[in-house]
Structure 1
Amino acid sequence: MSEEAEDSDSDTENGATGGEPDMDFLRNFFTQTLSLGSQKERLLDELTLEGVVRYMQSERCRRVICLVGAGISTSAGIPDFRSPSTGLYDNLEKYHLPYPEAIFEISYFKKHPEPFFTLAKELYPRQFKPTICHYFIRLLKDKGLLLRCYTQNIDTLERIAGLEQEDLVEAHGTFYTSHCVRPSCRREYTLNWMKGKIFSEVTPKCEDCQSVVKPDIIFFGESLPARFFSCMQSDFPKVDLLIIMGTSLQVQPFASLISKAPLSTPRLLINKEKAGQLDPFLGMMMGVGGGMDFDSKKAYRDVAWLGDCEQGCLALAELLGWKKELEDLVQREHAIIDAQRGRDAQPQHFSIPQEVPATCQGGGQDDREGETPVTAAALRRDVQPLRDS
């Protein structure tokens, strides 16, 4: 047998052509090169809710970013997307969609807008109120700790709870304004105009060109607002704590935000189940960074509190000494909402919307041609639209 043949047989026996050893080699190479496998010093004295609280009470925690999804609004009566039998996707059979997600796909919407607007009416009751979770974020703001709240929801409950435009990044858009979908037109319409169409069961059509008018929420197939990216670049390098609530962290690019914080930033997940876990090597290869690590021996900064989001916020508030303040805030704000809605059949408008540049100091507007801009709007008590998960 020739030396070449012997070498070939030897390589085959050692698995060089089998794929798995090659993958192990690459994994070890990147682990050693990038220190993905090195043990890091714990950032919290213990990886528990109590450890997070002691960190929050220290001088090291001055800037908190909240990342929130559908789970913080379910107790307000708004269904999430994925919960078995009660989630939105499990209740769309009557619309005869090719697949559930089609109702939020821009290409399907332009051809068949009727299912979306039928659904919009069902999810538009006026009794929705912010939850304990929303008011916990409000408390963070009142105490000077909130750097920003990034929300996937489009129910605007963060605004109703008292967050200002500058406090928010509405990653999946807003229901406050609407635009004609025709790129050469793009006429803007108000919330009241859209609400009138939805409740009269008339598909909204542009008064100039008769094309469909769509709320400025981000459908599948559309770009996220410019404000999402500009704030991400400026906020995450300086964040001291991430609090992630009510999201499965399955939708990109929102899910990738957990990897934008410095390695020296603790991360707390309040959710019904663990989310965001990703092998560091695979995360790097996919370009989304490392995921959450709750359970490994190398875990050093991530804490998961599993259960109902409202109960998680109450537990956190109690440990912080804020529980009574939080409960009083919820009771007071809900009473104000009830009183106002009782005074007038039509909810009263409290302020005038302001359009501001796409920076992190204010609202953002993406003016790229053919894409839906997201116009900043000041708090209005009649905003009770849809939400995303």
Structure 2
Amino acid sequence: MAAIVHETTHIEGLESLVQLVVGRRVAVLTGAGVSTDSGIPDYRGQGASKRTPMNISDFLNSELARKRYWAGAHVGWKSFSQAEPNQGHLAIAAMEQGGIIEGVISQNVDGLHRRAGNSHVVDLHGSLDRVICLECSQQFDRVSIEQQLSDENPWLEELSNIVLAPDGDVDVSNFNEVTIPACTVCGGILKPDVVFFGEFVPAKIFAAAQSLVKRADALIVAGSSLAVNSAVRLVDQARREKMPIAIINKGVTKGDRKAAVKLDGGTSPILTALAHELGSGYLYEDIE
């Protein structure tokens, strides 16, 4: 694992966050704000794209919508897949390895928590590196699907000046020319193994998230505005079980009034400082 760089700067509210965590088993719920320092934008933060993400109804009922999705997803995949874990991801992994964090429930689809070193991750909304057939349930590695898209649509490789979205998508104007891949087993519709807008989180996945919260004594929400119902339900679960909740986010969230501690700021410096204060310093290079 790469070393975490810790800068000794004052962070308002850090002491309260440390006190909330000390002696407790912690679950962490992360949102898009955790990955912005890796170059992946969020949906609602400052400078976020105003584009509309793919809706499951459109994807299922319109071949043109599927062409639009796969064209943009293919163009954005190279940048998305090359994103690296940032200091916030590494700090969360260090705290899991140090026995401070029980595990991570992530609303992100980038897989960066696992790449940072976390072993217990619930991907609430799935992961873009997997593709599934909606007819026969066959699973494919995303790399093989990307190769098909490249072979059948070489002109997509020439597009530049792309604006990446949080789900790895990009707006492509002439998507009606795209040839989209089909399942090599049954010829069915292929879809990335993620929850589109309008879909429900699979019951087994949400149950795993609830179980992680149940085993914890405290919940940290990092980089999420809590605009999605599944995330709010997990926060409400923690509140019902009378566990303290900490929120780390730039700007207001829907859970602020439920939090014992709220730190308004970037997740990377705050999580890095928290891990350092809690004694995960063997993974750090201190800069005075």
TM class by smaller structure: 0.7 to 0.9
Matched residue SS, 1:249: coil
Aligned to 1:173: 126
Q: CA deviation at 1:252?
A: 1.1
For 2:141, the equivalent position in structure 1 comes to: 190
SS at match of 1:82: coil
1:293 and 2:257 are equivalent in the alignment: yes
Q: Secondary structure at the match of 1:316?
A: helix
Task: Tell me, in whole angstroms, the C-alpha distance in 1 between the residues paired with 2:84 and 2:27.
Answer: 23
Runs of 5+ consecutive residues of structure 1 not aligned to the other structure: 1-46, 93-99, 278-291, 295-300, 329-389
DSSP 3-state at the match of 1:147: strand
Residue 219, structure 1, aligned to residue 219, structure 2: no
Q: Does 2:73 correspond to 1:109?
A: no
Q: Deviations over 1:192-221 (max 9, x none)?
A: 222213444441212244332111111123
1:275 matches 2:275 = no
Shift of 1:263: 4.6
After superposition, the Cα gap between the structure-2 partners of 1:148 and 1:79, relative to the gap in structure 1 and judged at 3 Å, is: same
Secondary structure of the corresponding residue to residue 247 of structure 1: coil
1:241 CA displacement: 1.5
SS at match of 2:263: strand
Evaluate the alpha carbon distance shift between residue 118 and residue 314 of structure 1 in structure 2; reply closer, same or farther with a 3 A threshold. Answer: same
Counterpart selection for 1:206 from 183, 187, 194? 183
TM-score, normalised on structure 2?
0.75
Q: For the structure 1 residues 203 and 326, does the alpha-carbon distance in structure 2 shift closer, same or farther, using more than 3 Å as the test? A: farther
Q: Which residue of 2 aligns with 1:136?
A: 91
1:347 paired residue number? none
What is the deviation of 1:232?
Answer: 3.7
**Aligned residue-pair number:** 243
Cα distance change, pair 49–254 in 1 and its aligned pair in 2 (3 A): same
| CA distances 1:57-79 after superposition (whole Å, capped 9, x unpaired) | 3x3x1x11000010011111111
User: What secondary structure sits across from 1:155 in the alignment?
Assistant: coil
2:42 aligned with 1:64: no
Q: Aligned pair in 2 of structure 1 residues 271, 198: CA closer, same or farther (>3 Å)?
A: farther
CA distance in 2, matches of 1:191, 1:149: 23
* CA deviation vs aligned residue, 1:5-48 (integer Å, no higher than 9, x gap): xxxxxxxxxxxxxxxxxxxxxxxxxxxxxxxxxxxxxxxxxx94
Give the C-alpha shift of residue 318 in structure 1.
4.2
Q: Which residue number corresponds to residue 282 of structure 1?
A: none
Greater fraction strand: 2
**Could you report, residue by residue, the CA deviation over 1:84-119 in whole angstroms, capped at 9, with x for unpaired residues?**
5x324x2x4xxxxxxx13x2x112113121221222
Whether contact under 8 Å (1:69, 1:153) holds in the other structure is yes
Structure-2 residue corresponding to 1:228: 205
- Which amino acid in 1 is paired with 2:231? F
Distance 1:211 1:69 in 2: 32
Is the contact made by 1:244 and 1:268 (CA closer than 8 Å) also made in structure 2?
A: yes
Question: Which of 305, 308, 315 is residue 263 of structure 2 equivalent to?
Answer: 305
Task: Mark the CA change 1:228 to 1:180 in structure 2 (over 3 Å): closer, same or farther.
Answer: closer
- Structure 2 unaligned regions, length at least 5: 1-11, 154-178
2:244 corresponds in structure 1 to: 266
Query: Match of 1:272, as an amino acid?
Result: K
| RMSD, aligned α-carbons | 2.4
1:152 aligns with 2:107: yes
- State, as a whole percentage, how many aligned pairs show the same letter: 30
Change (3 A) 1:237 1:211: closer
Greater relative contact order (Cα 8 A, min sep 6): structure 1 or 2?
A: 2
Retained in 1: the 8 A contact 2:95–2:275? no
Structure 1: distance between partners of 2:26 and 2:39: 27
Larger radius of gyration: 1
Aligned counterparts of 1:203 and 1:229: Cα–Cα separation in 2: 31
1:111-156: CA deviation from partner (whole Å, max 9, x where unpaired): 1212212221233224310011111110111111222200010000
Indicate the residue corresponding to 2:41 in structure 1.
79
Q: Which amino acid aligns with 1:106?
A: I
**How has the CA–CA distance of structure 1 residues 76 and 122 changed in structure 2, closer, same or farther, with 3 Å as cutoff?**
farther
Q: Are 1:136 and 1:326, in contact at CA under 8 Å, matched by a contact in 2?
A: no
The residue type equivalent to 1:119 in the other structure is G
